[in-house]
């Protein structure tokens, strides 16, 4: 397992470098001048030139990109914001917990709704509940999150006045954002749970468990659901990463001071270090979530860990035979 984790960590390096290169290139080729945006229209050409030299904007592209990556690797330094003058890493660490909390609450809500509805829909295939759940899941997948956020604000905040529309000062402020993000996630998880359960409940060991006289609830909960969870866990892990990125629009609509809103504001100001820092931070988090999801497989299904151990033993045996033959 340790060797597998180290291998996955090494595979993350080119992915993160690619993400950084793409974002850096897009910001680099943007026609606007950050020095002019920082100093304003009243700045003289000499002041603009001096600030460009101070920020390193006159250096070649590869030099700028190399200095940025070197600062992250050697000092965990994501740079200084061009507009606030504050270290980017401090802003990320302050704002990321709100984004992580929003994504975690949303994925918990979507997992509970999606798994329960998916199991019921699979066990009652072609029933009214199955058709209704499938239709609702299609609507949830197709519905844009920003549109749903606006509709929830109009209904529960403007019309009914039950919930606040912006901020993050108490639990009531998190209800609408969590429901907004959790709706589409629940639809995806429900569809995957339903299809996985339909495949599992037709297996021979499920029929054997029923023939032994076990209750239907025990057959579904202890035999079918556990073996159907592996693709569902994959969807949940990917969904959590998507919610971290998808919180950008939701945080902007509900004015939550998280990492997504910070990135949107940085894009508007063309604050290159802030944009790069927020995107790379999300990419690193998403990569670790995928790694944790893969590790979780071995705890859900012990056969995966057993097969990994068997493959290592076969490899050592093959190496030993080769040495003996030589």
pLDDT at position 202 is 80
Question: Considering only CA atoms, which of 107, 90, 279, 100 is closest in space to residue 178?
Answer: 107
- Residue 87: C-alpha distances to residues 79, 94, 131, 274 (Å): 6, 11, 52, 9
Tokens of 228: 């159907």
Determine what percent of the chain is predicted with pLDDT higher than 90. Answer: 0
Residue 47 has pLDDT above 70, yes or no: yes
> Could you tell me what percentage of the chain is helix, strand and coil, using 3-state DSSP and rounding each to the nearest 5?
80, 0, 20
Tokens of 250: 């939701």
160-183 pLDDT, tens digit per residue, is 888 887 777 777 888 888 888 888
- Residue 30: C-alpha distances to residues 25, 225, 236, 256, 264 (Å): 9, 50, 36, 28, 16
Dist. CA 163–CA 307, nearest whole Å = 51
Determine what percent of the chain is predicted with pLDDT higher than 70. Answer: 88
pTM (2 decimals)? 0.73
Task: Identify which has the larger pLDDT, 299 or 268.
Answer: 268
The residue whose two tokens read 């690193």 is 284
Assign 79 to helix, strand or coil. Answer: coil
């Amino acid at each position: 397992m340790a060797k597998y984790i180290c291998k996955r960590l090494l595979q993350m390096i080119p992915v993160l470098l690619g993400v950084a290169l793409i974002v850096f290139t897009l910001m680099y080729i943007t026609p606007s001048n950050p020095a002019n945006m920082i100093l304003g229209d009243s700045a003289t050409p000499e002041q603009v030139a001096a600030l460009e030299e101070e920020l390193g904007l006159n250096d070649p592209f590869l030099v700028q990109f190399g200095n940025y990556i070197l600062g992250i690797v050697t000092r965990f330094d994501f740079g200084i914001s061009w507009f606030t003058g504050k270290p980017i890493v401090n802003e990320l660490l302050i704002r990321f917990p709100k984004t992580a909390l929003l994504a975690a609450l949303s994925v918990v809500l979507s997992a509970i709704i999606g798994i329960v509805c998916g199991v019921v829909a699979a066990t009652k295939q072609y029933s009214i509940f199955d058709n209704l759940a499938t239709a609702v899941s299609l609507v949830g997948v197709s519905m844009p999150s920003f549109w749903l956020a606006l509709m929830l604000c109009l209904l529960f905040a403007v019309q009914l006045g039950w919930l606040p529309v912006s901020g993050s000062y108490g639990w009531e402020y998190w209800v609408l954002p969590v429901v907004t993000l959790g709706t589409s996630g629940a639809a995806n998880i429900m569809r995957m749970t339903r299809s996985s359960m339909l495949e599992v409940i037709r297996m021979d060991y499920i029929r054997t468990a029923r023939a032994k006289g076990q209750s239907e609830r025990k057959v579904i909960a202890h035999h079918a659901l556990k073996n159907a969870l592996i693709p569902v866990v994959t969807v949940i892990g990917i969904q959590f990463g998507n919610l971290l990125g998808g919180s950008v629009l939701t945080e902007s609509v509900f004015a939550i001071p998280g990492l997504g809103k910070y990135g949107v504001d940085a894009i508007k100001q063309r604050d290159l270090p802030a944009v790069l820092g927020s995107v790379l931070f999300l990419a690193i988090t998403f990569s670790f979530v995928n790694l944790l999801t893969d590790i979780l497989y071995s705890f859900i299904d012990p056969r995966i860990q057993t097969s990994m151990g068997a493959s290592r033993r076969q490899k050592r045996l093959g190496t030993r035979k080769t040495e003996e033959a030589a």
